[in-house]
């Protein structure tokens, strides 16, 4: 009851027509949104704008208190200032006005900015917008700058409204939805449902289509009015025309064979189809075409002559890459390809890959002979001790340690030879491309070495007993005979010195004269020196001979 009294009061105070079919434009003003400006400043500026609108006879302006009472009675809820387009439209619909004016008042240090816009509540279209900035103080802004700006803005808005009232609006929906809309033969970017503003009054043809259906109606758009239309879509039919170069190619559409090119087929249900065009000796063309309702779809296909690559020396294990894509030769070793340059890669287990480049002309056959080269295998061998001779058969190929020794694939007998030890044998099977590692330790000495070592040990013993004599027995390229001759001489001298020593000592005992005793005493002293010298020489010769024999290498 309270709302009804308020609404009757609004009509008595402010008689307006929401359709604005007369010369007066019904408008309400939403208080300005403040950014840096307080509520009082925004309210005063809003009243200034309202007063300017009241002075223009073309507008019917709703009183502020009536507008607030209606919105409150309608339960209109919003936080802050209503400045968004959706909020403005909702408020305008509740107030029953056709137009709403809203804006923003901003204040920063030394700067005031004002922006205004007028929105058509029915269409949501912004009819006019403008603004300005000033460095003046707020009182001067209110008294000298805001009124003339508002007058200009009101005149601009009046002209925009009058221009929009010469045209209407059109709302188009369809069953099913999401159809593309054309108006008077011109395609739009909109799909159903959609609203179009500023449509000239009169009869218009609306076509709505999807890939497989179409619908058409005519609508009469009135000035300053919104016309709603519903287009029912039905299955459409189209046509297709297929040509080929060269002609006389077979055409298959979704598995059904049609006539040869050039051909045309009508009454095809709209939708997507797979087209296959082929001719013997040419590469078939597969395409997806969309048949549009009430339209002719044209396609022209250039058929390329087939070329062939023939492989000789191919087997089941061979893999072929044509332009880096797998290709499968037929039973005759043939691969089909387009004319032009191609890269080929042939590979087979255990063999090196073969690379080719070919340049094919249309209809040509290029032959490629595959000559396989086995992949190398690699052998790494280490032994303790090192420097063992590696032999394959009778051929010596390296010494240990060796890394990645290239060998042909297959069976091999590997011998590891060190003359101090018995040989080590390995029978191996190398797979193409394989890397094999062997590691061995020599353990058992060879008979040859043991015989040699026994002879060297005897020679060393004889060298210590008789300098140089062992070297002669060992048959080594040393100065054995020379050392032996010097050794025997030193031994003889040492023996002579010993003989004289004992002889002089015996004579000293039997001597009675002082001079004789002194003479034999002196001779005994000399004999001792000779004995020491010859013995030392003999010992050194024996040690030297022993050393030489100890350093003989096998």
DSSP 85: H
Helices (H), 338-433: none
42 and 106 Cβ atoms separated by less than 8 Å: no
Region 258-283: mean pLDDT is: 88
Residue 9 has a pLDDT of 40
493-550 per-position pLDDT tens digit: 888 889 989 998 888 888 888 888 899 899 889 989 988 988 888 888 888 877 877 7
179-195 per-position pLDDT tens digit: 899 998 888 999 999 99
| Helices 85-95 and 64-73: angle between axes, nearest 10 degrees | 90
329 and 308 Cβ atoms separated by less than 8 Å: no
Report the alpha-carbon distance of residue 346 to residue 333 in Å, rounded. Answer: 12
113-131 per-position pLDDT tens digit: 999 999 988 878 888 999 9
Region 4-18: mean pLDDT is: 40
Predicted confidence (pLDDT) at residue 255 exceeds the cutoff of 70: yes
Residue of higher predicted confidence among 84 and 156: 156
Q: Which residues contact 143 (CB under 8 A, 6 or more apart)?
A: none
385 and 445 Cβ atoms separated by less than 8 Å: no
Residue 375, classified by CB atoms within 10 Å of its CB into exposed (0-12), middle (13-18) or buried (19+), is: middle
Predicted confidence (pLDDT) at residue 247 exceeds the cutoff of 90: yes
- Count of CB atoms situated within 10 Å of the CB of 313: 14
Residue 486 pLDDT grade (very low, low, confident, very high; cuts 50, 70, 90): confident
Joined tokens for residue 450: 């043991």
Residue 1 has a pLDDT of 38
Predicted confidence (pLDDT) at residue 13 exceeds the cutoff of 50: no
Per cent of the chain over pLDDT 90 is 24
Residue 80 has a pLDDT of 52
- Count of CB atoms situated within 10 Å of the CB of 444: 10
Residue 155 has a pLDDT of 92
Residue 488 has a pLDDT of 80
Residue 295 pLDDT grade (very low, low, confident, very high; cuts 50, 70, 90): confident
Q: Which of 215, 208, 203 is nearest to 182 (CA)?
A: 208
Q: Which own/partner contact pairs does 253-261 have at CB distance under 8 Å and 24+ positions apart?
A: 261/301
Residue 181 has a pLDDT of 92
Predicted confidence (pLDDT) at residue 253 exceeds the cutoff of 50: yes
341-389 per-position pLDDT tens digit: 889 888 888 788 888 888 888 777 888 888 888 788 888 999 999 888 9
Predicted confidence (pLDDT) at residue 166 exceeds the cutoff of 80: no
444-484 per-position pLDDT tens digit: 888 888 888 887 788 777 777 777 777 777 766 556 777 77
Predicted confidence (pLDDT) at residue 21 exceeds the cutoff of 70: no
456 and 546 Cβ atoms separated by less than 8 Å: no
38-56 per-position pLDDT tens digit: 989 999 999 999 999 989 8
Report the alpha-carbon distance of residue 388 to residue 291 in Å, rounded. Answer: 83
How many residues are recorded in the chain? 554
Q: Is the pTM of this model over 0.85?
A: no
Residue 476 has a pLDDT of 61
Residue 477 has a pLDDT of 56
Residue 24 pLDDT grade (very low, low, confident, very high; cuts 50, 70, 90): low
Region 409-421: mean pLDDT is: 87
Report the alpha-carbon distance of residue 470 to residue 552 in Å, rounded. Answer: 12
Q: Which of 64, 55, 128 is nearest to 95 (CA)?
A: 64
Mean model confidence pLDDT for the chain: 84
- Count of CB atoms situated within 10 Å of the CB of 136: 14
Q: Which of 232, 239, 253 is nearest to 293 (CA)?
A: 239
Report the alpha-carbon distance of residue 29 to residue 102 in Å, rounded. Answer: 6
- What is the enclosing helix (H) or strand (E) of 531? helix 514-550
Residue 77 pLDDT grade (very low, low, confident, very high; cuts 50, 70, 90): low
Residue 407 has a pLDDT of 84
Helices (H), 416-479: 447-465, 469-474
Q: Which own/partner contact pairs does 438-442 have at CB distance under 8 Å and 24+ positions apart?
A: 438/379, 438/380, 438/381, 438/382, 438/414, 439/381, 439/382, 439/383, 440/381, 440/382, 440/383, 440/384, 440/416, 441/383, 441/384, 442/383, 442/384, 442/385, 442/388, 442/416, 442/418
Joined tokens for residue 459: 């020679």
Residue 444 has a pLDDT of 87
Residue 479 has a pLDDT of 65
Report the alpha-carbon distance of residue 409 to residue 223 in Å, rounded. Answer: 94
Region 156-166: mean pLDDT is: 81
Residue 58 has a pLDDT of 85
Report the alpha-carbon distance of residue 42 to residue 385 in Å, rounded. Answer: 103
């Amino acid at each position: 009851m309270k709302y009804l009294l308020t609404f009757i009061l609004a009509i008595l105070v402010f008689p307006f027509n929401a359709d604005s079919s007369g010369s007066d434009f019904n408008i309400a003003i939403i208080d300005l949104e403040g950014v840096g400006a307080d509520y009082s400043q925004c309210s005063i500026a809003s009243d200034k704008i309202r007063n300017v609108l009241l002075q223009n006879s073309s507008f019917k302006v709703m009183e502020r208190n009536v507008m607030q009472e209606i919105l409150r009675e309608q339960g209109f809820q919003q936080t802050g200032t209503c400045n968004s387009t959706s909020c403005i439209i909702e408020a305008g619909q509740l107030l029953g006005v056709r137009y709403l004016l809203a804006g923003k008042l901003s204040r920063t240090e030394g700067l005031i900015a004002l922006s205004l816009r007028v929105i058509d509540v029915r269409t949501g279209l912004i009819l006019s917008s403008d603004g300005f900035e000033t460095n003046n103080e707020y009182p001067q802004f209110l008294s000298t700058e805001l009124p003339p700006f508002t007058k200009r803005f009101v005149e601009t808005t009046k002209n925009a409204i009058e221009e929009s009232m010469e045209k209407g609006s059109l709302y188009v929906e369809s069953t099913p939805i999401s159809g593309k809309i054309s108006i008077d033969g011109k395609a739009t970017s909109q799909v159903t449902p959609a609203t179009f503003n500023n449509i000239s009054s009169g009869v218009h043809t609306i076509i709505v289509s999807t890939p497989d259906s179409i619908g058409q109606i005519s609508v009469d758009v009135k000035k300053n009015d919104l016309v709603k239309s519903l287009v029912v879509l039905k299955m459409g039919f189209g046509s297709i025309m297929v040509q080929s170069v060269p002609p006389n190619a077979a055409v298959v559409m979704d598995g059904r064979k049609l006539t040869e090119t050039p051909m045309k087929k009508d009454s095809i249900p709209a939708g997507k189809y797979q087209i296959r065009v082929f001719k013997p000796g040419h590469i078939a063309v597969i395409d997806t075409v969309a048949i549009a309702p009430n339209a002719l779809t044209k396609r022209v296909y250039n058929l390329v002559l087939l070329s062939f690559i023939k492989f000789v020396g191919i087997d089941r294990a061979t893999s072929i890459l044509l332009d880096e894509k797998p290709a499968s030769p037929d039973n005759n070793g043939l691969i089909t390809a387009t004319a032009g340059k191609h890269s080929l890669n042939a590979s087979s287990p255990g063999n090196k890959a073969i690379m080719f480049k070919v340049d094919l002309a249309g209809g040509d056959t290029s032959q490629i002979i595959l000559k396989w080269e086995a992949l190398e295998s690699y052998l790494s061998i280490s032994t303790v001790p090192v420097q063992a001779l590696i032999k394959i058969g009778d051929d010596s190929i390296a010494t240990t340690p060796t890394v990645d020794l290239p060998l042909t694939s297959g069976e091999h007998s590997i011998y590891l030879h060190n003359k101090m030890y018995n040989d080590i044998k390995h029978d191996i099977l190398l797979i193409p491309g394989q890397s094999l590692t062997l590691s061995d330790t020599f353990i058992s000495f060879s008979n040859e070495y043991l015989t040699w070592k026994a002879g060297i040990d005897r020679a060393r013993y004889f060298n210590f007993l008789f300098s140089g004599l062992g070297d002669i027995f060992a048959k080594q390229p040393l100065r054995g005979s020379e050392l032996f001759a010097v050794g025997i001489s030193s031994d003889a001298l040492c023996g002579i010195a010993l003989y004289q020593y004992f002889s002089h000592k015996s004579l000293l005992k039997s001597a009675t004269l002082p001079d004789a005793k002194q003479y034999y005493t002196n001779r005994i002293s000399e004999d001792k020196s000779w004995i020491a010298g010859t013995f030392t020489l003999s010992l050194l010769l024996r040690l030297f001979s022993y050393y030489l024999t100890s350093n003989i290498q096998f």
